[in-house]
Amino acid sequence: MVVGDFAIDLDTVVIGSGPGGYVAAIRAAQMGQKVTVIENTFIGGVCLNVGCIPSKALINAGHALQEAKGGSVFGVQSKGATLDWATTQDWKQHKVVERLTGGVSMLFKKHKIDTVWGTAFLKDDHSLRVMQKDSAQTYTFKHLIIATGSHPIEIPGFKFGNRIVDSTGGLSLPEVPKEFVVIGGGYVGSELASAYANLGAHVTILEGTDSILPNFEKDMVQLVLKSFSDRGVTVITKAMAKNAEETKNGVKVTYTADGKDQTIDADYVMVTVGRRPNTADMGLDIVGVKTTDRGLIEVDQQGRTNIPTIFAIGDVVAGAALAHKASYEGKIAAEAISGKASAVDYKAMPAVCFTDPELATTGLTLKEAKDKGIDAKAAKFPFAANGRAISLAQTDGFVRLVTNADGTVIGAQVAGPGASDLISELTVAVESGLSAEDLALTIHPHPTLGEAIMDDAELALGMPVNI
């Protein structure tokens, strides 16, 4: 192989090293493929560096501060609890983010996965060119997996700068703002609004629709709204953000609500109104890879595009922009390249929002089941009747099972303490076709939050013990 004007021959190439790309690369290597990853920013992608992981670090820091201030309910008296923001940010970056991204780099070494730094541009169905600042190199490949992720949408009137930021900037603010405006009440906006409220900011959420968190059921969202209200978070729905103007010491946000223009003076404004797939300017049109009007790449059940040698996964294909979805699709694509009959099955795709309280859902909601013509019912067990939740002083919320006519669990929702962890058992139940009786007959340790699943299963069977 000669570097320069000649192409370097590769086997399986993965563009992007986020939770889709790095998992696809490792699984491909495990299947015996020689893998090369092309990355233009940082190992671990948005999720590990400026998304899922650092946001959860800040959420946890906010919880720690609130626990230090609010222990009196347990008879614990603490005075003068303060936040050292520089230490928080240092911990988030060096003890959390770098530990995980360093771990991915070590896994690449373990599996003999090569990394090429630069931006990839497709030439044809078997070759691409990687551009760096002062050079470029052509590579051929047998198979390609596109896992380039997505980027935040910048809306008119809100050009990103020092005080007008996207979610990436929102995770690395130089200070905890006294006044913080969040535009968009979806997953990211609600999570970071919750985190900064716990860290001491007064937060205002401007949401264009009639409700925040539209992907969750209303009784779940109401719990978050109550928590927001208790912590002084202002939620303004049906509010259209018009523009923001950076001032000497802050930013003035103008929005329209109830037919009137109104303004908010804040320290920072964060825009979280969605993301766009990173599929532009990479040569997809030249190769003839089919995309939708939104720029999403069209794929089959194995992640294969209309070009047999090219696959795509994660945020660049249809479906929810979830890290675990990308990882799942990455494994399927890698196995398909090795000739396995693997195919995606989204029967039970869990989704979690790390607000206070946490929200989680998997499978079908009752409404979705009925819309599909399924004879279904729901059973809802409150955490107020769970011993562990009572001992945690976190009794708001519930576990809900959705079952069909023969008692099979086809969906579930959890709102409350530990929802992000409890949803996994329920996802297994939906994925495996377990019945409410199966869950009811499974011995759950006492006292635990997980008992609420057993109790709810008994409720679904009409024989509740603890309610």
CATH architecture type of domain 351-460: 2-Layer Sandwich (3.30)
Compute the C-alpha angle 320/326/328, nearest 5°: 110
Length of the chain: 467
Instruction: Please report the pLDDT score of residue 4 as a whole number.
Output: 53
Domains 164-273 and 351-460 share a fold: no
d(CA 50, CA 128) in angstroms, rounded, equals: 28
User: Which among 111, 324, 444, 446 is annotated as catalytic?
Assistant: 446
Task: Tell me the H-state helices in 154-248.
Answer: 167-170, 187-199, 218-230
The burial of 221, by beta-carbon neighbours within 10 Å (0-12 exposed, 13-18 middle, 19 or more buried), is given as buried
> Residue 402 in 3-state DSSP?
strand
Distance set, CA 209 to CA 156, 183, 223 (Å): 18, 11, 18
Reply yes or no on domain 8-152+276-337 having CATH 3.40.630.30: no
d(CA 230, CA 212) in angstroms, rounded, equals: 16
Look up the CATH number of domain 164-273: 3.50.50.60
Active site residue 324: no
* Chunked mean pLDDT (size 10), the chain, 467 residues: 71 98 98 98 97 97 92 82 96 97 98 98 98 94 98 96 97 97 98 98 98 97 98 98 94 97 98 97 97 98 98 97 98 98 96 98 98 98 98 97 98 98 98 98 98 98 96
**Domain range list for the chain:** 8-152+276-337, 164-273, 351-460
